[in-house]
Structure 1
Amino acid sequence: MQENTSVMLTPVEAAAVRASSFDILYHPTEKIPTIVVENFPSLGKLAAMRFIEWVQNHPGGVISLPTGKTPEHFIRWVQRLLADWDKPETRKILDGAGIDPGTKPDMASLHFVQIDDFYPLDSAQHNSFYHYVKKFYIEGFGLDPAKALLIDSTAIGLRPGERLTDVWPDKHVDLTLRYRLAQTNLERRQKTLLEDVDQWCMEYERRIRTLGGIGFFLGGIGPDGHIGFNIKGSDHNSTTRLCPTNYETQAAAATDLGGIEISRQCLVITIGLRTITRNPDCTAIIIAAGQAKAALAAEAIQAPNHINIPASCLQQLPNARFYVTQGAAAGLTERRIVSLGQSKTVSDDDVEKILMELAVQCNKRLVDLTDDDARTHPLAAMVLQRRSETLRELTQAVHDRLIGKIETGVSIYKEKCFLHTEPHHDDIMLGYFAQVVRHFRRVTNRHHFMTLTSGFTAVTNEFMRAQIANLRRFIEAGTFAELIAQGYFAQNNMIDRNRDVWQYLDGVAGRDDHEKAEGNARRMLRNLIELFDGDFLNDIDRYTREIEEYFATTYPGKKDPEPIQKLKGMCREWEAECLWGYYGWQCEDVRHLRLGFYTGDIFTKDPSMDHDVPPIVAELERIDPDVITVAFDPEASGPDTHYKVMQALAEAIRIYLKKHAKPDLKIWGYRNVWFRFDPSEANVFVPISLAMFATTHDAFMNAFITQKDASFPSHEYDGPFSLLAQRVQVEQYRRIKTCLGREWFHNHPSAMIRAARGMVFLREMSPGEFFQSCRELRQSVEAR
């Protein structure tokens, strides 16, 4: 690609632009230069190369680097380059990226500025950003701790021997104390500490200015568009401060902090937007990966400067950049036009996507679109230029394609064996539950369910504490003495394992909380006996008290020891067995693989060819499925675990098919609340009725008891995932209804279609089509 002469490019950037199919800036739409790379690892590599290049040219400079999962590959690449700088292969990589391999950057000369952290969070906790920065940047990059400006909450304003919990016992910081009179001794101490924090923030800002401001800033973009913790609505002249957050930020932080119950209470200390932009020579780079970030990136790059778009403040910096993956670039208008123009043909999928966008934009049926409408949409105008058909012919073709997808969605397979897979225990329910239930009704179909990870990170300590307390009540009442004597809780006793489920579901049916509580307690006791190899029964009181004490005293968000991880995961496995028990499926039909790459670390390991793939292959051999369902989330769009599970499944299916000829094997790709199909990407549309919405929500709230309080919710919805899934499916239906017209649904001869108020999108694929959509696990592992 030709370089845009209006933008000064460094050698690294010039090399990246040449490797891209895009220019770095498209006037007048784009206001921040942007480089598009192929995938998430490539994004981290580009950011690392630009960082190394900047450090080479600015020894002693001031840097500010991000926390969280987004910089994973950036950190890995920087550490790799620094550790292997003198190796020939590293020098070749550096030279190829436009970096002089002769001068190793002087990392110890740099000044580091921490961007943000939660308050009042003990900095010693492993889930604090202070801990993250020290581990991955100060130690990991070899920076000089004496030259680092860090946000250590435990060092701000506390008296000798005083702890944050002494001043903020419920972790709630009342900012009204800035303005009102304190009423109690505790409030007077809180007010003083609050003033000390505000003073510290002012001094932090002054220290950054004394250094000359930030020279290199690297950041991600939050679910509301925040940069640092400068949430939507932040003043672009803001400086370092203690401030509250919004719901979107609290939801995104829930996983780090152990639940939204905790993140709702936390404030944040963050540098301001003006802190970032004060140095006019600052190189400020925002990295964004995956289509889920596309709208946010497009807004920041294309929209006018506005307080509701925090990253738009970077438009004033000549050296500001966005580095994005192809998915994250999906909302950049000019680049979509360039891509369409560069393609050899305009495919039917392209036509469908663009004309549906036009129909929704005009709020018209497809068949009612006019040439004047098409001229208002640059991509639609290009479609008409490049396709030989008229607009009427194209809209009719898309109309017919949509109807064909719905007709496929209402058809039911028979005499098939289904293997339903999911990364987490509620992914199937939130993704395509209605389609599963419909296929249950054909008695000739067989169904197996397989969860690939233990999902323990979605279980709060408070939930576990309540479950242990519930168990203790039944034990102390002697309820389980006879069952223990009968061998009810013996390992591998599948009959009585199923009885746990039946006991609980009897309580659901009878709306009897005591029966449900007993079912929960039975399974908890069974899990503890399995976890401690039978020793648990010899000293039940000691074990339960120790476990209860652990959950009462461990800070939320702490990485649990392996036995506790396993126990939390067992609670999620119990939920899946209860859900499928609704329809008569037994525990033998539900498999829990607990793949080892899922560890609860900030950067989850990649699946292993030796350890994670063979168990999946063994299940494929045992089940011999005709249909395999997969959470089909592209890299960095859905949760990281979804993508990694998809890679492990793809590799396992490859191995399985080398031994077994299965020419008719089908792969159903599904998505749920984390990421959605564009209708043009899906080829099966499943109508959802109000009755199915009610069934789904009731089952979710009764089966997924760890999730019903929404401790780890989506940033899009403040409530349980079942209702968010309903909202997503309603939105999908409304989009199709606009394109086909409400009359098509309301006057349809099928009651199922007339009853539709939601829509599930699926993508049915052959194994070959599925493999084309996956980056091979073997290649991924070898590239590390």
Structure 2
Amino acid sequence: MLPIHTSPKADISYRHVGRTDVTRYEKMHVEVFGESADASIAVANEIADLIRAKAYARQKCVLGLATGSSPIRVYDELVRLHKEEGLSFANVVTFNLDEYFPMERTDSRSYWYFMHEHLFDHVDIDPQNIHLPDGRIDLADVYQHCMDYEHKIEEHGGLDFQLLGIGRTGHVGFNEPGSNSRSLTRLITLDHLTRVDAGPDFQGMNNVPTRAITMGIDTIRKARRVVLVAWGHKKAPIVQTAVEGERTSSVPASFLQDHDNLTVLLDGEASSDLRRFKTPWLVGPCEWDEDRTRKAIVWLSSHVEKPILKLTERDYNNNGMSDLLARDGSAYELNIKMFNQLQHTITGWPGGKPGVDDSQRPERKSPAKKRVILFSPHPDDDVISMGGTFLRLVDQGHEVHVAYQTSGNIAVSNADARRFAEFCQQVNRRAGVENPDLDKTVDLLQNPDPAADTDPLEVRTIKGLIRQGEAIAGARFCGVPDEQIHFLNMPFYESGKNKKFPLSQPDIDLVKDLIKKVEPHQIYAAGDLADPHGTHKVCLDAVFQALDQLEGDDSIKNTWLWLYRGAWQEWPIHEIEMAVPLSPQEVDKKRQAIFFHQSQKDGVMFQGEDNREFWQRAEQRNRETARAYNQLGLTEYEAIEAFRRWRF
């Protein structure tokens, strides 16, 4: 795991301090928290302290606010502070960063709707003190509206505090690449990547508006205090560029480097590309524990393009690792030790190999036949993310249960749902069966309400059944009996929107009950930690909390938890603890298992920034992992699926 500097939850009211050797490459003040939730609470507490201080001085507190997934937990905590600790917003004036254009305020995708849903409707703020750019105005009036917005901020004495997120293009607000450092509030055209990232909220990127009204860079920089937050590995590359790179209009967030009262708050994954975490041996002296040593040697082998066993003392000395050599004696000894560690992660027996010495193997040999639960957040993550290992576990005689945690119903298009519903309707008619509920569903699919922000329950039900049928077919293909296929249909997912309900005890109980029933020796779960509000992360939290609540229970006394990565990314080589090689035939069989998920194959609803189909992405990722192992000097395989063990 990454070394994380964890600050106190309740206090980030620090200001920029002098750079140390560790942070000398960072041109912004950065603090890293172990969990995004802790960082969010810290931000909320700073805002609350500012509101109270201003109220005590009988002054207005002028806040600049952001939208998107990053600040949601901040707003949740502010609402809690209002309801449980009496924090009043009576003296608060707010100015939001941006709004889509054109956009009706009643639209659930508008930032007006977002802010009221997450904050304004739950606190005692005066509606007259809420200001957002207006996406409803005529194009001819936009310029004057923007100038009026600037004047309103000035009339209130400027922003006391500005909360920011950062987009993967480096935008703050909607100041896309090319924005001038002196820019003010204005209409802007959205970058393609920004629209891709917004696609899930709009049921596809093509539905995302192409323009937005945004505060300018100069408007943001005039705030007396700025806090920028970023969570997850997807933000890591742009965070590194903004924090350590040059000030440039191609990364608008970099213009904040000269702000004298700015703090950047990150979780571990968002900070992972900063030099002090990615290559601390190039920054200065560091402590060489086992994890850092492994990471450094894997990096060195890749950097100098040599297999591990060919690394020399000069390679170590020329790349900031001379103190590691001094500790361990020689490159030869380091190389051999690391080569053996990596080699021992590779196994064709993910459930453990019976009758052999297992002291150097990733999984236990006993019991020879294990009970296994494979938790799949969506109805296709099992075969996409670990289909080869899934097949191997079944083939090697283990009792494999697959548990689909959510229905996945929002990821089915109306066209697919209508095709299935009309097919059922025709079957009924031929059999002389009347089904008014089905007829109603067909009618709803033929004539959808364009103003509705969620599908009707009847439509969501048939979409869920489509995903369920595909999952059953895929699991049967892998050899799992029907009685070992479980659909949890966790309630948090059933909002009908991209934004889900909070995780609650009924969700966790579904996971707990299955674990107690099966008493597994192995659990596999999706370890995608990128988005703290994403379905994979919520489903993983449900597994974690279920295991916490079962602590001491006999059902988990022999349980090991293995994490596979989601469909978008693989574990870094130095973090892999079990690597399961796949033959060409197994890769082909995994592909066939994925093909059963037909609704997710062509015209997938949530494509992301990668236009390839899921099976193509999965194969490429697995082949790249195998290639990375081979480049380190290990055996060449067709493909490899990778796992990390979570010790709970």
TM-score (norm 1): 0.71
**AA partner of residue 354 (structure 1):** A
Q: Is the 8 A contact 2:16 2:29 kept in 1?
A: no
Matches of 2:277 and 2:520, distance apart in 1: 42
Matches of 2:546 and 2:577, distance apart in 1: 24
Aligned to 1:406: 346
Q: 2:36 aligns with which of 40, 47, 67?
A: 40
**Aligned positions of 1:122-521 closer than 5 A:** 122-154=104-136, 156-157=137-138, 194-209=139-154, 211=156, 213-263=158-208, 266-277=210-221, 279=222, 282-334=224-276, 346-378=288-320, 380-385=321-326, 387-407=327-347, 415-442=369-396, 444-459=397-412, 463-469=413-419, 471-472=421-422, 475-476=425-426, 479-481=427-429
Matches of 2:527 and 2:608, distance apart in 1: 18
CA distance 1:15–1:61, shift in 2 (3 Å): closer
Please report how far the alpha carbon of residue 585 of structure 1 lies from its aligned counterpart in structure 2 after TM superposition.
4.0
Secondary structure of the structure 2 residue equivalent to 1:78? helix
Please report how far the alpha carbon of residue 365 of structure 1 lies from its aligned counterpart in structure 2 after TM superposition.
1.6
- Gap regions ≥5 residues in structure 1: 1-10, 87-103, 158-193, 486-535, 746-752, 772-784
Matches of 2:48 and 2:106, distance apart in 1: 30
Matches of 2:262 and 2:13, distance apart in 1: 15
Please report how far the alpha carbon of residue 594 of structure 1 lies from its aligned counterpart in structure 2 after TM superposition.
0.9
Matches of 1:730 and 1:198, distance apart in 2: 52
Q: 1:54 aligns with which of 50, 54, 73?
A: 50
Please report how far the alpha carbon of residue 269 of structure 1 lies from its aligned counterpart in structure 2 after TM superposition.
2.4
- Cα RMSD (Å) of the superposition? 3.5
Please report how far the alpha carbon of residue 40 of structure 1 lies from its aligned counterpart in structure 2 after TM superposition.
1.5
Residues 375-417 of structure 1: CA distance to partner in whole angstroms, max 9, x if unpaired? 3434x344335x3342221122111221221245688756333
Please report how far the alpha carbon of residue 62 of structure 1 lies from its aligned counterpart in structure 2 after TM superposition.
3.3
Matches of 1:203 and 1:341, distance apart in 2: 47
Q: Is the 8 A contact 2:235 2:270 kept in 1?
A: yes
Matches of 2:463 and 2:454, distance apart in 1: 12
Q: Is the 8 A contact 2:65 2:96 kept in 1?
A: yes
Matches of 2:423 and 2:598, distance apart in 1: 22
**AA partner of residue 76 (structure 1):** D
Q: 1:649 aligns with which of 525, 530, 543?
A: 543
Matches of 1:382 and 1:637, distance apart in 2: 37
Matches of 1:657 and 1:42, distance apart in 2: 24
Matches of 1:728 and 1:282, distance apart in 2: 45
Aligned to 1:582: 477
Residues 79-125 of structure 1: CA distance to partner in whole angstroms, max 9, x if unpaired? 22233446xxxxxxxxxxxxxxxxx66x3344322212223332201
Matches of 1:17 and 1:268, distance apart in 2: 32
Q: Is the 8 A contact 1:688 1:759 kept in 2?
A: yes
Residues 304-336 of structure 1: CA distance to partner in whole angstroms, max 9, x if unpaired? 112232211101211121012233322332367
Q: 1:608 aligns with which of 497, 500, 504?
A: 504
Q: 2:571 aligns with which of 677, 682, 685?
A: 677
Secondary structure of the structure 2 residue equivalent to 1:13? coil
Q: 2:644 aligns with which of 757, 763, 777?
A: 763
Matches of 2:12 and 2:492, distance apart in 1: 34
**AA partner of residue 374 (structure 1):** Y
Please report how far the alpha carbon of residue 545 of structure 1 lies from its aligned counterpart in structure 2 after TM superposition.
1.5
Matches of 1:678 and 1:638, distance apart in 2: 20
Task: Report how many aligned residue pairs link the two structures.
Answer: 620
Please report how far the alpha carbon of residue 647 of structure 1 lies from its aligned counterpart in structure 2 after TM superposition.
3.2
Aligned to 1:541: 439
Secondary structure of the structure 2 residue equivalent to 1:82? helix
CA distance 1:337–1:668, shift in 2 (3 Å): closer
Matches of 2:474 and 2:596, distance apart in 1: 8
CA distance 1:663–1:561, shift in 2 (3 Å): same
Matches of 2:132 and 2:219, distance apart in 1: 15
Which segment is superposed worse, 214-223 or 681-690? 681-690
CA distance 1:315–1:654, shift in 2 (3 Å): closer
Sequence identity of aligned pairs in percent? 22
Matches of 1:594 and 1:223, distance apart in 2: 32
Instruction: Tell me whether 1:573 sits opposite 2:513 in the alignment.
Output: no
Matches of 2:611 and 2:643, distance apart in 1: 26
Q: Is the 8 A contact 1:419 1:627 kept in 2?
A: yes
Matches of 2:224 and 2:488, distance apart in 1: 48
Matches of 1:582 and 1:719, distance apart in 2: 24
Instruction: Tell me whether 1:121 sits opposite 2:103 in the alignment.
Output: yes
Q: Is the 8 A contact 2:417 2:463 kept in 1?
A: no
Residues 487-520 of structure 1: CA distance to partner in whole angstroms, max 9, x if unpaired? xxxxxxxxxxxxxxxxxxxxxxxxxxxxxxxxxx
Higher CA-based Rg: 1
**AA partner of residue 232 (structure 2):** G
CA distance 1:640–1:374, shift in 2 (3 Å): same
Matches of 1:261 and 1:764, distance apart in 2: 39
Matches of 2:467 and 2:143, distance apart in 1: 43
Aligned to 1:720: 613
Write 1 or 2 for the structure with the bigger share of helix. 1
**Aligned positions of 1:631-642 closer than 5 A:** 631-634=526-529, 637=531, 640-642=534-536
CA distance 1:108–1:695, shift in 2 (3 Å): same
**AA partner of residue 422 (structure 1):** S
CA distance 1:205–1:369, shift in 2 (3 Å): farther
Q: Is the 8 A contact 1:138 1:144 kept in 2?
A: no
TM-score (norm 2): 0.85
Instruction: Tell me whether 1:592 sits opposite 2:484 in the alignment.
Output: no
Q: 1:731 aligns with which of 604, 608, 624?
A: 624
**AA partner of residue 294 (structure 2):** E
Q: Is the 8 A contact 1:435 1:686 kept in 2?
A: yes
Aligned to 2:72: 72
